[in-house]
Structures are given as C-alpha cells and as structure tokens.
Amino acid sequence: MAAIEVENLYKSFKIYSDKGKTLKERLLFKKRRAYEKREVLNGISFSIKKGETVGLIGHNGCGKSTLLKLLTRILYPDAGTIKVEGRVSSLLELGAGFHPDLSGRENIYANAAIFGLKKKEIDERLKKIIDFSGLEDFIDNPVRTYSSGMYTRLAFSVAINVDADVLLVDEILAVGDVNFQQKCLKKMRQLRDSGVTIVYVTHDTDTVKTFCNRAIWIHEGKIRKDADSWEAVDAYLAFMNDEKMRELEKEQEPVQEEQPEEPQVQEDINDEQPPAEEPIEDALTEEEAPAEEAELDSNHFGSGEVLITKVRFVDEQGEVLDILKCGMPVSLEIDYQILKEQNGYNFGMGFFTASGINVFSTNTNIDNIFPEKLPQEGTVRFKIQNLSLLEGEYKLNVAVVNADQAPLDYYRCFLEFAVASENKKAVGTTYIEHTWEIPQA
Ligand SMILES: Nc1ncnc2c1ncn2[C@@H]1O[C@H](COP(=O)(O)OP(=O)(O)OP(=O)(O)O)[C@@H](O)[C@H]1O
C-alpha cells in the first residue's frame, strides 16, 4: 500500500532580478519588478510504499528540500498531485515551526499540535520529549537563546515522538553533535523497523546506503534514478565524479590555449574563476583516452568510500595507449578519489584472458607496500618494465580495498585491451624471456 503518491509534480520559484534599492522604490514599482521563473521540479512522479525508507539525493539546489516541503505542505505545487497517508511528522529547516520568544516547553506544545497531537497527548509525551532532547536544564528558556544544535535536539525530539506514520527529515541532523546524531539515527532505525515510512534528504551518501532501502536521485528537475539505495548512490557518485573531472578539464583549457586570438575569451574565463594556480596532474589534463577510459557503471562492488575514477595504459612519455605491445615498457595508471579516509589502502590489478583465466594479479600489500595515508585524490601507477603479455585480447581488473581488505571500489573488468606483438611470438599468454641451446651434430 502506498504511503506517499506523487504524480507529475511541477514547482517553480520567481526570482526577482530587480528588487529596488529602497522601500519606496519597491512600493512604487511593485508591479513592474522583473523576475524570472526558476523551474525546480519538472514533472516528478513516484510512489513510496508504507514502511519504505527513501533517501533523496542530488547536488546542491536540485530541489530535494523543495520536494520535502511540498510533501509536508509547507509549499504548494504549480501542478501535480501529492497524496500522503496517515500522520506526517517532519524535521525540516532549522527552527522552522519554533517561535523564538516561547520557551522550549511551550514550543513543544505548539510544534506537536502542528503535527496533530491534542494537549492531553502532548502532556503524556512531554517527559519523553524533554528526556530525549537532553535539554532539561534549558527547557524553560526562550528558544532564541538556543544554539543550532539545541534547536535540532528539540525539533527532532518532537518529530519522533508524535506517533507519525510518515517521517520527513531534511539534512538537519548534521547540526547535532556526534553523540546526538548517533542517537537520532538509532531512533530512526527503530522507527523504520516499526514500520514508519521515512523520507530522508541528505548529502551523507554512506548513511543513505546503510539506512535507506531505496534512493531517489533528483537532477535538473527530474528523477534521474530511482533504485535500490546502493545502486542509486553509486550512480550519483560516479556522475558527480565525472562532473568534477569535466570541471578540472575545463579549468585546464585556458592554460593549454595560452595565446588566444581573442582577448575576450580570457576575460570571460577570468570572470568565472581565476586561472588554475596549482599544476594539475598530467593524468587529468589528457584530452582523451577513448579506448582506455572505461565508463563507470554499476557492474562493480565496494563501499564507494574510495572511488577508482579512471584507468588507462600509458607509455614512457605518458601518452595514452590504445594497443599495447609485447616487450614494451607500460604503466597502468589508476586515478582514485577518497571520499572517506580509511585505515589504509591496498590497490590491486589483474590481467585476465578474454575467456576469464587469470594471467597475473597482484596488489600493493603483496608487494609489501602499505600506504596508510594518501592525498585525497591522485594517481597510482603500476609500472611494467617489459610487458610480457603475448598478442591477444585481455581484460583488466582493478580494485582498491582498505587495510581490513574490505572492498572500497572493485571492478571485475574495468576495461578490455589488446596486445600486439611484432617480434615476440609464442603460444600462450605470457612471453618468457629465453634462449635455446641445441646440441651440435
Ligand atoms: N522560497 C524560494 N524562493 C526562491 N527560490 C527558491 C526558494 N526555495 C528554494 N528555491 C530555489 O530552488 C532551488 C532548489 O532549492 P532546494 O533548497 O530545494 O535545493 P536542495 O536540493 O535541497 O539543495 P541543498 O542540497 O543545497 O540543500 C534552488 O535553486 C533554490 O535557490
């Protein structure tokens, strides 16, 4: 049975470009104020079953909070329908729904009443709410004297104690201290397990993976992916990573076109952002590496806390190779990005034949390299002095695991590549340097 049913939802905001400098100007030109319409949600439809826990993900400003506010009916859509079954409780913007001059206790009554509780029901829950908030000593002070963390504590304590069927939570938990965050997540898990439907907006993709069973990724006003939380988060992180790469490559462009014909181009670029001050890794400035740069897809596993973002073969000059040659020096470059620091890192690679036979695999730990700390992003190079693979088609596995060998990003076949051979001929997969000794007659 559906707890939330959203159909063809549209929401735009008017953005006023000329507000008028003074109140007089604003009043006089009230009707003439120029505005543009910003489409935020552009035809969103989904259905959430009772008891589901759904993470809403997407980049800043994509409309997650707007969607949550529409579900809470703080905002109304331009078009589309929203049906929510049962009592709704929400934890939206910091302090939303609190009156600054009322005490914590008075705000509990006011807030819980908004969620549909009668005075008697609130009386019964008051102690529980105050206890959970940990604000006993401050509960009779006006909430304007509260810190942002204290606001969150109070708001959360009310939101989870109103026996809601549907709980809508915005990124608000980030404000509380670590202990309170853990306490909230524990409580939310209990609510989830007792069948409460939860929609959770957050940028903490780890929590989405572990806490939610499903995630909806909003992009450019539409649903880009609505799937199992791991699958949706991986797709979102891969996309964000690609975006980052594109930005880095764009930043690089003016540096490459140092003497442009049109000074205007330079000005535009300067407007946007200052020219790159830091030297950017060679690897990121390569214009293209079509054959080697396999696209990230969901056909791999790992926590995603460290991502393998690009992999390529290069020659001694750093030129990307389409075809490798038996006997040549080759480097395998693995670009990574750390989203969450680990207790250590172990990078691995493996060559497989097209039919899946492992020709050679190793990792940094096997080679007695145990990196504990790494730059947040960089390139690991696996250098081969003399490629001994024979002519043929091969597959490449790449992986990074942590010091406990837990997979962070593991690809069974990141890319397929070909090896050619001009003078090193033999049968099999590996060329073994050799000589023959033949008895003389
Ligand atoms: N009341 C409003 N008036 C005008 N524009 C608004 C209003 N509320 C939101 N917006 C705009 O709508 C867009 C979506 O905002 P929203 O807060 O929903 O994004 P979000 O995905 O929650 O972002 P974040 O991850 O940064 O919290 C933004 O461009 C924002 O500026």
Tokens of 331: 């480097």
Ligand 1 in contact with 220 (CB < 6 A)?
no
Ligand 1 in contact with 13 (CB < 6 A)?
yes
CA 380/CA 312 separation, integer angstroms: 11
Q: Is 382 helix (H, G, I), strand (E, B) or coil?
A: strand
Ligand 1 in contact with 360 (CB < 6 A)?
no
User: Of all atoms in ligand 1, which is nearest to the CA of residue 201?
Assistant: 22
Is the separation of the CB atoms in 28 and 67 below 8 Å?
Answer: no
CA 192/CA 169 separation, integer angstroms: 13
pLDDT at 252: 65
Residue in 66, 93, 170 to alter for ligand 1 test, most ligand atoms within 8 A of Cβ:
66
Per-domain boundaries in the chain: 2-228, 291-420
Contacts within 8 Å (CB) and 24+ apart, 19-23:
none
**Could you give the C-alpha distances from 261 to 255, 258, 269, 271, in angstroms and in order?**
14, 10, 14, 18
Give residue 67 CA to ligand 1 midpoint distance, Å: 10
* Domain 291-420: CATH superfamily, name plus number: abc- transporter (atp binding component) like domain (2.70.50.60)
Residue in 37, 64, 68 to alter for ligand 1 test, most ligand atoms within 8 A of Cβ:
64
Give residue 59 CA to ligand 1 midpoint distance, Å: 11
CA 226/CA 205 separation, integer angstroms: 15
Ligand 1 in contact with 62 (CB < 6 A)?
yes
- Report the DSSP beta bridge partners of residue 168: 90, 199
Ligand 1 in contact with 221 (CB < 6 A)?
no
Give residue 186 CA to ligand 1 midpoint distance, Å: 29
Helices 104-114/119-133 angle, 10° precision: 120
Ligand 1 in contact with 64 (CB < 6 A)?
yes
Question: Going by CA atoms, what residue is nearest to atom 7 of ligand 1?
Answer: 13
Could you give the angle at the alpha carbon of 74 between the alpha carbons of 69 and 77, nearest 5°? 70
Going through 170-271 in order, the beta strands assigned E by DSSP cover 197-201, 214-219, 222-228
What's CA 85's distance to the chain center, in Å? 30
User: Of all atoms in ligand 1, which is nearest to the CA of residue 66?
Assistant: 18
Question: Going by CA atoms, what residue is nearest to atom 28 of ligand 1?
Answer: 61
Give residue 64 CA to ligand 1 midpoint distance, Å: 8
Ligand 1 in contact with 223 (CB < 6 A)?
no
pLDDT at 24: 65
Residues with Cβ within 8 Å of residue 130, at least 6 apart in sequence: 104, 105, 108, 136, 139, 157
Give residue 167 CA to ligand 1 midpoint distance, Å: 21
pLDDT at 19: 57
Question: Going by CA atoms, what residue is nearest to atom 25 of ligand 1?
Answer: 60
Give residue 9 CA to ligand 1 midpoint distance, Å: 16
Give residue 63 CA to ligand 1 midpoint distance, Å: 6
* Domain 2-228: CATH superfamily, name plus number: P-loop containing nucleotide triphosphate hydrolases (3.40.50.300)
Going through 263-355 in order, the beta strands assigned E by DSSP cover 306-314, 323-325, 330-338, 345-353
Q: Could you read off the pLDDT tens digit of each residue along the chain, which spans 441 residues?
A: 799 999 999 999 987 665 556 666 666 665 555 677 889 999 999 999 999 999 999 999 999 999 999 998 888 999 999 999 999 998 886 656 788 889 999 999 988 888 888 899 999 999 999 999 999 999 999 998 998 888 888 998 998 988 899 999 987 666 667 788 888 888 899 999 999 999 999 888 878 888 999 999 999 999 999 999 989 998 898 888 777 777 767 766 665 554 544 443 333 333 333 333 332 233 222 233 333 333 344 457 888 899 999 999 999 999 998 889 899 999 999 999 999 999 999 999 999 887 678 889 999 999 999 999 999 999 999 999 999 998 888 889 999 999 988 889 988 888 888 888 877 888 788 999 899 999 998
Residue in 9, 10, 19, 40 to alter for ligand 1 test, most ligand atoms within 8 A of Cβ:
40
Residue in 36, 65, 204 to alter for ligand 1 test, most ligand atoms within 8 A of Cβ:
65
Question: Going by CA atoms, what residue is nearest to atom 26 of ligand 1?
Answer: 60
**Do the domains at 2-228 and 291-420 have one common CATH topology?**
no
Residues with Cβ within 8 Å of residue 405, at least 6 apart in sequence: 346
